[in-house]
Every structure is written in C-alpha cells, then in structure tokens.
Structure 1
C-alpha cells in the first residue's frame, strides 16, 4: 500500500508540474545561430516562479579548504514573454553536451518538449542538448558504421548471484568472425549505474566515431555494474526500499563487520573478465586489456590494476576519488598500497593516464597520489584541464584516452 501511495504521489507531482498539454504549442528548445540557447516553459497561471537549472548556465568558482576550487551553477529565474510563456536565453556556448531541467515553484521537472532525456544517476533525470562542433561532434550519432550494445547478465561466483553489464562490440565484430579484439573496461562513478557511460558518457557514439575516423583501434568496451549489492541498475530491479544499493564506500560498508574485504569489488572483478574472455573473441592477455573509470570508478581502476598484477597494460583515471581517510583500509596510503604500486611500475604499464579538472573536487586529493607515483617510479601522463567533476570533462578524457590504446 505504501508503494502504491508513493507512486501515486509521484504521478500527481509530475502531472501537476509538467508543462500542460493542449492549448497553444510551446516552441521547443532552440539553438540559435550564435550558439546561444533559448529554453521555454509553459506553466499554469497559478505558478509563481520557474527557474532554469543546468550546466550551461553561468557559474561561480567557490574556494574550499578541503576540495580546493569548485564550480557552482546557480539556477536562474526565467521571465514571462508576451505570450505568457516562461523563457530564458543563454550566452553563446562552446561546443559540448549540456543538461538542464526546471524548478517550478521549487519542484523539479523536465522539459516535455525535448525528447532527449538522460538519467544521470538514481534520481537525476534531465534533458540535454548538444552544441555540435569540434570534439562534441563525437557525441552525436553520425553516418558511420555502428557497433552493437548488449545488456549481458553473468553469474558472479564471488557474489553468488547474477549481475549485469553492458558490452559494446565494434561495427566489424560480426563481419570479421575470426578476428580477436582488445577490451576496455570502463567504470562509472558513485551513485551511478552500468548505463551511465552509455547515457551521460556517450561512450557508444564516441567509440563509433573514433573507430570510423581511424583514430581508435576497434575494441570491445565493457561497462560493468559498480554497485556491490544490487544486481543491476537500481531502476531495473523491483522497487524495494529495504534493499537500497550501496556503492564502494568502504568506510560505511565495513562498519561493524569483522574480516571485511575492503577490495571486494576489485577481487570480484575476475568474474567479469572471465565472462568476457569466455563469451567474446578477446585478446586474453595484459596487452589486450585496458581499464579506466570516473571518480569512484577511477579509484576502482587504480585498485583493480594494481591488485590484479599483469592484467592491464593501460590504465585511465578520470578525476579519481582518492580521499585516503575514506577510501582505504588504514585511512591512508599504507605500505601495502605503495608497494603494490611500486610492483606495478616494475612490471610495466604501457600507459598510465590521469585527467582531472582544475575546478574538480578531486584536484587536491590527486596531488599526494601523484607524488607517490613519482616515488615508486611509475611513469604516467598527467592531463590537467579546465572544468569540474562532471561528464563534460570525462567525455573529453575518453576521446583522448581511447585513441592511445592497443597501438
């Protein structure tokens, strides 16, 4: 009964605050010739205020002691035009993918006149648009050969249950029936899911376009579920408030447990590799494997690559979440971590790539990590950029990282 009431209230809220159908049609979002964008919202006369929210709005840089500089986007109150429609026109925008939503008298809703919607996490639904030019052309479905994406279920002996991942195979995979392909394993961040790289990350479009341009080797890309307790995306499973997902937050997950494995995700990852090597025509060796990830997934990539020795020849850390006091067993870079990185450096990694934005909340936490890499002799490529802890940066990082793999 409580579930039914919750869903009914949700439906009423959406119906109340969605743009009303019928009457005069509201023009959809418009990308103007100067690359500014005009968004519109038609609301009932009783609505007092409509705000536009999104990452295309002006931002301010806020300095914090722990995180350093951060970007904060402030919602903007829209204005009614002469036809009574709420409207906002942005400044000229640089080429990129941007997401946005509305707040109608304080209640979040999306733009029903824009069919392009993504889920940026478990509850972060938003519309998006693309200013198409330069690097952002890789985020659009172009007239090129397209790969195939499959939702694959596999049994994990470590977790003793079925789990789900998404697998991308390049366009030629079905035609070149005897060829074997290298594999890139790509991890999502905290509060996200295995589909995040397909939606926010535009991984499929990026890989199709880079491969078609000859900039990237044809490869298999695997996007696994980084949630330790759920079998798949939260919304894929039946709603059950008693079984909320838990990410790789070792501090909370270890509380009250004896002999807790802080690296259970990393240790369980052999199940993913074994499934892929058994079911796809892979190159099942260190030379044929790469791993990368964003935020929490960047930390997972760092840990997986150092704990599973000689498994990955390419490592990409995109804004890796590396707060030692939270994410490591002894609340710091202990000797085990340092020695495993030293051994990884000695074994050899063809590419160890780090990207982080100067307004990223992980900018400061990456400084001591890079010092450790220097101390243990790990050769790495450090790629600072503008921007914050968002897919606006991580999409760019993927377009720079992927072309360097398996060459």
Structure 2
C-alpha cells in the first residue's frame, strides 16, 4: 500500500511511497497547462493527467538523501505544495529519500544537544548577525567544563540554518558522542556572506572582497563573541574549521591563512589547498579533503599527496555514488568529526 513520505506536509496526501520504493507525486496545475513534468533529484519525469485533471508521476528515486522535487509546468518551475520547503539557492520543495547505508544521521533515542540561535552585532555590516550553535547534551549540566569547537561553513546556495536542517549536523554529533566515537564538542555555524553597507551583492560572494569581509568579521567579531559566550577551549589544538563547497573554499583560504589558530581543517567539495606554503607545520594536525565520486576525486588525492610530501597529515574521503550534494557533505562531516581533536 501507499503511505505518505516523511517529508509530506501534514495537511497533504501526496507525495506517497510504497514498500517497493516507488514515489507517487500528484499536482493540480491550471486548466490551461499543456506540458507538466516532475523534476526529481535533477531527473525529469513526464506527468500523466488523470480523469480528475490532476497530474501524476510514479517513479523510483534517482538518488538517496536530500533531494529537490518540483514541478515544471509549461517550462516554469514551481514547488510541490505537498512537500517541505528548504532554503537552497532560494526556497525549494525537498524530499528525504532513505539511504540504508547511512544510518548515522537518523534520530535515535540518545541524549540530544541543543542548537541555539546566537545573535551578535556586526559593526562591519552595520546589523545583527545570527549564528547557529550546537552544544552537546551534557553542556548545561557540566558548568565547569570547556569544549573544543568546530566552525562549520555552509555553501553558496545556503545560509546558517542548513547544516542543522539539511545536513543533520546536530544529530550526527549526538549519535557519535553517544557511541563514544567522538568527545563532546561545540559546533558554530555562521552565515558565510558578509556585506559592508554599499557593497554590490550581485557576484560579491565569489570575489576577493567578500573573502576579506568574511575574514575580518569572523576574527574580529564572530570568534571573540562566541568565545565570550560559550565555554570553549581557545587554543588551536581544540579549534577546527570546515565547510562545504563555498564554505570549503573559505576553509581552504581563510582557514589556511590563519592556520596558526586551527589545527584541523576540512574542505568538503570546496577545492583543495592551493597555497600550502601558508600552512603552519607547528599547529596543523590534519587537512581533510573530500568530494563525491562524481566530482573530482583525483584532484583531492593528488593535493593530499602533495601535502603529505610537505610533511603534513593530509587525508581524503570520496563519497561513493554522489556528486555535489548533501549526501556527500553529511558523510564528509561524519568522517571528519571522528578524526579531529585526537
């Protein structure tokens, strides 16, 4: 039989899924619609109209994990109103496809930490900024204990909410802590984008100026404010930086430039360390470069080999069967967390 998916809105009947892994999507388009398709994990499926005028698609999921699912009505992409909306290059309708081999991000009956909204004022931007801060389950009951910290950046299409809502960073950390695989830690998720008043927001994100804006905001405002409000061990050995895509590029530039402050660096689908001469041998304990098998595994493996030749501990992870997508980055975080603060 058919059942609603875990991502189906509570007031919606569709999408549905059956025991064979077929997904049934239904959409009511305007009566004038001529051509209706479903875009599901970036694969297009033609829809069939039923006697009631609804458009239907029954299909297997092209990929597991977090996937965009939306309709294309006469060439116009529209969200599926039956699904949850997530921020990814704008608001899109998304569906979570189960992945049997990736149980580490499933909610379990273990002690759970908190994800806090932390607001601080940025004089650089002239406005209040928000960071999401994960604290481990024991944090409030251990008032005398200080913790290592991971500064975790999102990608170009996201914001500070995505590592929690889509990447399941808090659940991954909870499960690893409960299993004794990692020590309790704090995870700080800032917004990558920093605009001074008057900045052109168009393509600034890919410019050196944006990079410099973030660098100044992070080290003069965000990091001191976080360390003033949370019980954090403030040396390089207990401080890590990582990020996905654009956030990985930040780690590979800003993090590398300040490698006197970070012993652990993680670059997830964000290129490679292009200026290894800036890495500090006295502080850097790990450079961890990852990507999906459908991205550029040879490139990260070659770069890691180069870094090892220079005397650094560098390792790689290639996510099997994935591309530039959240399943790659969930897996990358899962592995990175088990390598740091050791």
1:108 aligned to 72, 77, 86, which one? 77
| 2:247 matched residue in structure 1 | 297
Structure 1, gaps ≥5 residues long? 1-24, 56-72, 232-239, 255-261, 325-332
- Give distance in 2, aligned partners of 1:358 and 1:47: 39
The aligned residue for residue 97 of structure 2 is 130
Aligned residues: 330
2:51 and 2:178 map into 1 onto residues whose CA distance is 47
Closer/same/farther in 2, CA of residues 179 and 190 from structure 1, 3 Å limit: same
Partners of 2:293 and 2:322 within 8 A in 1:
yes
2:310 to 347, 371, 376: 376
Give, in whole Å, the separation in 1 of the partners of 2:303 and 2:64: 32
Q: 1:241-290: CA deviations, max 9, x gaps? A: x9636554225x49xxxxxxx64423442232211111101111112111
Q: If the length of structure 2 is used for normalisation, what is the TM-score?
A: 0.84
1:339 matches 2:277: yes
Larger Rg: 1
1:306 aligns with 2:263: no
- Is the 1:315–1:353 Cα contact (8 Å) retained in structure 2? yes
Q: Which moved more, 1:89-98 or 1:142-151?
A: 89-98
1:173 maps to: 139
Query: Structure 1 residues 83, 140: CA separation in 2 closer, same or farther (over 3 Å shift)?
Result: farther
Alignment partner, residue 28 of structure 2:
42
d(CA) in 2 for partners of 1:157, 1:74: 44
Kindly indicate whether the alpha-carbon contact (under 8 Å) linking 1:153 and 1:165 is maintained by their aligned counterparts in 2: yes
Residue pair 1:26, 1:41 contacting (<8 A) in 2 also = no
Q: 2:189 aligns with which of 223, 228, 237?
A: 223
The structure showing larger relative contact order (alpha-carbon pairs under 8 Å, at least 6 residues apart) is 1
1:78 to 24, 44, 47: 47
Q: Does 1:283 align with 2:233?
A: yes
**Gapped runs of 5+ residues in structure 2?**
1-10
Query: Higher strand proportion, which one?
Result: 2
The answer as to 2:37 corresponding to 1:51 is yes
Quote the residue 1:250 is aligned against. 207
Partners of 2:149 and 2:282 lie apart in 1 by 20
For 1:380 and 1:281, locate their aligned partners in 2 and report how far apart those are by CA, in whole Å: 29
Task: Specify whether residues 30 and 384 from structure 1 end up closer, same or farther in structure 2 by C-alpha distance, changes over 3 A only.
Answer: same
Task: Look up the match of 1:350.
Answer: 285
Partner of 2:181: helix, strand, or coil?
Answer: coil
- Report the equivalent of 1:120: 88
| Shift in CA distance, 101/275, structure 1 to aligned 2, threshold 3 Å | same
Matching residue of 1:89: 58
Moved more, 292-301 or 96-105: 96-105
